[in-house]
Chain A
C-alpha cells in the first residue's frame, strides 16, 4: 500500500458545482497535513494546512479523520480558475513530507 493515496481522477465538473477529494495515508504517526494546488508547468502552491480536525478558508474546507486516516478537501461553488492538480501531502513527525499522486480537476464552463 502506498503511503499516501488519492482519488485517481480526473474530475470534470461544471462551474458552480461542489467537488470533494479524498486522501488516505498509512503512517499513523502523521501529524501535519496539507493540500497543495499545482497548475500545469508551475510549482505547487500551498492551499491549506491541517493540524487538528480541519480547516476552512472561503470556498475550501479540509477535514481530517485521524481514526480512519483520511483527509478530504471540499471545494464549493467551483470556478474555472480552480482547474488544477490537487496534491495531498502528509508530514509524519520527524520525517519528510510524503506526497500523494495528485488528483486532476477540470472545471468546465
Chain B
C-alpha cells in the first residue's frame, strides 16, 4: 500500500466558494494522478503529475486548478464549481515495480465533494 491520505473526506461548497483538496503520499512515488468519479461510473482521469510537473490535462475546465508544490503533496484548487462537479475525487500515485517497466496504481480514500 502507498499510504495515501486525502483531505478533507467530505466537502460541501457553494458555487461561489473557493476550496482546495489535498493529497499526500510519503512513499516517494513520482507520478500522481487525479481522478473524478461519478456514481456507478469508473474513475475518469483529470490530471497527471510526473516529477512535480503537469504532464497531462484531460481538457479539464479552468475552475479546477491542480498544483504540485513538492513530490509528496498534490492540491486541487476549486473555484466557481457547478453542481455537476459533485463527485468523488481520487488521488492515485503510481508505484513502479523494481526491475521492470510495470506500474501499479493505488488510490487514496478520496474526497466526496458536493456542490450546492
Given A32-B103, A51-B102, A91-B103, A43:B109 Cβ within 8 A: yes
Interchain CB contact under 8 A, B112 and A45 = no
Interchain CB contact under 8 A, A45 and B107 = yes
Interface majority SS (helix, strand, loop, mixed), chain B: loop
Given A43-B108, A43-B109, A45-B107, A101:B101 Cβ within 8 A: no
Determine the chain A residues whose CB is within 8 A of the CB of B110 once the complex forms. Answer: 42-43
| A99 CB-CB contact with B under 8 Å | yes
Nearest chain-A residue to B112 (Cβ)? A41
Give B contacts to A, CB under 8 Å.
Answer: 33, 40-43, 45, 48, 56, 88, 90, 100-110, 112
Give A contacts to B, CB under 8 Å.
Answer: 31-32, 34, 41-46, 49, 51, 87, 89, 91, 93, 96-97, 99-102
